[in-house]
Amino acid sequence: MAKFALETIRHSASHLMAAAILELYPDVKFDIGPSTEDGFYYDFDFGTTKLTTEDLEKIEAKMTEIADKKLPFERIELSREEALKLLSEKKQNFKVERLADIPEGEAISFYRCGKFIDLCRGPHVDNTGDIGAFKLTSIAGSYYRGKESNPMLTRIYGTAFADKKELKAYLMQIEEAKKRDHRRLGKDLDLFSISETVGPGLVLWHPRGGFIRNTLETFWRKEHYENGYDLLYTPHIGRSNLWETSGHLGFYKDSMYSPMEIDEIDYFAKPMNCPFHIEVYKSRVRSYRELPCRWAELGTVYRYEKSGVLHGLMRVRGFTQDDAHIICTPEQIESEIEDVLNFCLHIWKTFQFKEIKAYLSTRPEKAVGDPARWEQAQKSLVNAIEKSGLAYEVDEGGGAFYGPKIDLKVKDAIGREWQTSTIQFDFNLPERFQINYIGEDGQRHQPYMVHRALFGSLERFFGILIEHFAGAFPAWLAPEQIRMIPITEKQHEYCLNATRELKKAGFRVECDTRSESMGAKIKDARMQRVPFMAVVGEKEMQSNTFAIRSRREDQLGQMDLATFMKKLQNEVDNKL
């Protein structure tokens, strides 16, 4: 066991950084410096001084100097008056405001480390030598208290670990992640773009990205029909009374866009598909005999996200959920949940994600719905997870007020975890919309309702896939599967004929007839992550073959077209 928790080390590193900055920039004003999921940051006001990434090195050197001195973190408790006096003397106006946030009666503690003294709750490591290894990573602007009307501060990010080895492994992962950044690959591979003219957070799918999306959708639809789902299509907007009934205008309004008016009635772009599916259910009387309803839709929704949090495909304002709702009887719920979870796992394995972990969130204190139903719902979730053999964690009381849920997190090729599928019970909407079915007893009963998404959204899933495969999509997803490379003009006709044959057989192939060298053509095909190259020179033409190179296995030797097609078809069929 490490001596200190990682977050304690990281938070202490933020003090260390602040101490170094105080020495280098004596007039700096401090805001706060918490630890984060992968490091720490501290917000500063440097006045008119502008910091660049080059300054980070200097700050790091100063941090090392202080760390080596093994200066202790000393806790000092002050009265509110004393604290105010100290901070005012140091002209730390942000800290004065933060002091006012501390409730009456709570201890006001400061931590001193060398010359730097900070208003802080703690805890910290014992001395600056306990911060094993650290690195400053970036600089960004950040509004004081996250509010755009407040002054812009300078946020410096860093990370820290218990030792140098862990830091090194983390930094290598970051390097690898940069190479795989879906925003960069999206541009290099011409997959998608986001245009300021169209609007931030709104994705334009280019032909190559569009091809992949179409392949994903086709796969998704086929799998859903095979797993007993029906597909729905519902509109993008719905009138205000729908969203009042659903409760969205009550608790979700901040994430919805302003309405548009049609015939003097407000219509809202949908942030969710559920109310529409419920209206399909309510379109007539339902009998227990037709349950379960498993209704899926690739439904495009619009949600407001602050411009500061938008991020490539990962966080957007318009996206297509691979949504589904299961409406069933209490007797059916257990096997339905089991099926959904297995369906999820099948999907993730198809895309070559091997490590999957489940997170179960249970009933919070404030909740709607019958406690007995919560009990049954949670039991069905636990049973399904245990039968699947997945590792899982329980967030006791961490569920939404309307029902318990399972979230899945998958690990990608470089070990990063992504939150993806969700299986979420809902005791709220069936109540609000008064949905029911006629049971065997001839009486009306309230069904169970479950929301679930496998990919999450197509946009985010695509982003994850780009990074997971580093743009090198398996042949079944690759927008271009084969690049035909004639070495000289003499082979053009031969190659163009083969290109036509391959296209006729349903493969996606391009022929590079530019007057570039073979080396340059191969390099370009590699850059575009094309799974196979078919190089043709005099020798291949004579023997009626192709020199096949695979992105994965390199040189595969000479093959005739039929043999190559068979190999390719095998990769496609097995989604290799």
- 120 scored as a contact of Zn ion (CB under 5 A): yes
- Residue of 208, 363, 451, 452 with catalytic role: 451
Nearer to Zn ion, 425 or 546 (CB): 425
Asked about 118 being catalytic, the answer comes back as: no
CB of 177 to Zn ion, least distance (A): 28
Nearer to Zn ion, 156 or 274 (CB): 274
Nearer to Zn ion, 59 or 487 (CB): 59
| Interface pattern 472-511 for Zn ion (x via CB under 5 A) | ----------------------------------------
Candidates 94-102, 118-126, 171-179, 183-191; binding stretch for Zn ion (CB under 5 A): 118-126
| Interface pattern 325-344 for Zn ion (x via CB under 5 A) | --------------------
Asked about 323 being catalytic, the answer comes back as: yes
Which of 135, 213, 363, 451 lies at the binding interface for Zn ion (CB under 5 A)? 451
CB of 337 to Zn ion, least distance (A): 15
Phi and psi at residue 425, in whole multiples of 5°? -75, 155
State whether residue 194 is helix, strand or coil: strand
Q: Which amino acid is at 460?
A: R
Asked about 303 being catalytic, the answer comes back as: yes
Nearer to Zn ion, 454 or 478 (CB): 454
Asked about 444 being catalytic, the answer comes back as: no
Nearer to Zn ion, 142 or 246 (CB): 246
CB of 276 to Zn ion, least distance (A): 9
- Residue of 180, 248, 325, 483 with catalytic role: 325
Asked about 124 being catalytic, the answer comes back as: no
Contact of 268 with 255, CB cutoff 8 Å: no
Nearer to Zn ion, 7 or 524 (CB): 7
Identify the burial level of 46 via C-beta atoms within 10 angstroms of its C-beta, where 0-12 means exposed, 13-18 middle and 19 or more buried: middle
511-550 positions binding Zn ion, by CB under 5 A: none
End-to-end CA distance of the chain: 41
Measured between alpha carbons, how far is residue 157 from residues 138, 140, 338 in Å? 5, 8, 42
Contact of 360 with 404, CB cutoff 8 Å: yes
- Residue of 92, 321, 332, 528 with catalytic role: 321
CB of 14 to Zn ion, least distance (A): 7
| Interface pattern 132-151 for Zn ion (x via CB under 5 A) | --------------------
Q: Give the helix ranges, DSSP H, for 143-282.
A: 164-180, 182-188, 207-226, 240-246, 248-251, 274-281
- Residue of 45, 323, 407, 426 with catalytic role: 323
CB of 419 to Zn ion, least distance (A): 17
CB of 118 to Zn ion, least distance (A): 6
H helices then E strands: how many in the chain? Answer: 18, 28
Contact of 508 with 500, CB cutoff 8 Å: no
Nearer to Zn ion, 123 or 210 (CB): 123
Nearer to Zn ion, 119 or 485 (CB): 119
- 18 scored as a contact of Zn ion (CB under 5 A): no
Give the residue from 429, 419, 448, 398 showing the smallest Cα distance to 252. 429
CA 496, 498, 501, 502 torsion: positive or negative?
negative
Contact of 380 with 448, CB cutoff 8 Å: no
| Residue carrying the six token digits 């990281």 | 10
Contact of 68 with 20, CB cutoff 8 Å: no
The full DSSP string for 51-65 is --HHHHHHHHHHHHH
Asked about 424 being catalytic, the answer comes back as: no
- Residue of 15, 405, 468, 483 with catalytic role: 405
Candidates 154-162, 303-311, 444-452, 560-568; binding stretch for Zn ion (CB under 5 A): 444-452
HSE at residue 493, side-chain half, CA atoms within 13 A, is 1
Contact of 421 with 344, CB cutoff 8 Å: yes
Contact of 236 with 275, CB cutoff 8 Å: no
Asked about 284 being catalytic, the answer comes back as: no
# chain residues binding Zn ion, by CB under 5 A: 3
What residues does 536 pair with on adjacent strands?
486
| Interface pattern 246-285 for Zn ion (x via CB under 5 A) | ----------------------------x-----------
Candidates 182-190, 263-271, 450-458, 558-566; binding stretch for Zn ion (CB under 5 A): 450-458
Q: Which amino acid is at 348?
A: W
CB of 384 to Zn ion, least distance (A): 19
Candidates 74-82, 113-121, 345-353, 477-485; binding stretch for Zn ion (CB under 5 A): 113-121
The full DSSP string for 397-448 is T-SBTTB-EEEEEEE-TTS-EEEEEEEEE-SSHHHHTT--EE-TTSSEEPPE
CA distance 6 to 2: 8
Candidates 163-171, 205-213, 449-457, 516-524; binding stretch for Zn ion (CB under 5 A): 449-457
- 405 scored as a contact of Zn ion (CB under 5 A): no
Nearer to Zn ion, 248 or 451 (CB): 451
What residues does 35 pair with on adjacent strands?
40
What residues does 535 pair with on adjacent strands?
485, 547
CB of 215 to Zn ion, least distance (A): 25
Nearer to Zn ion, 120 or 470 (CB): 120
- Contacting positions for Zn ion (CB under 5 A): 120, 274, 451
**Annotated active-site positions, please?**
274, 303, 321, 323, 325, 405, 451
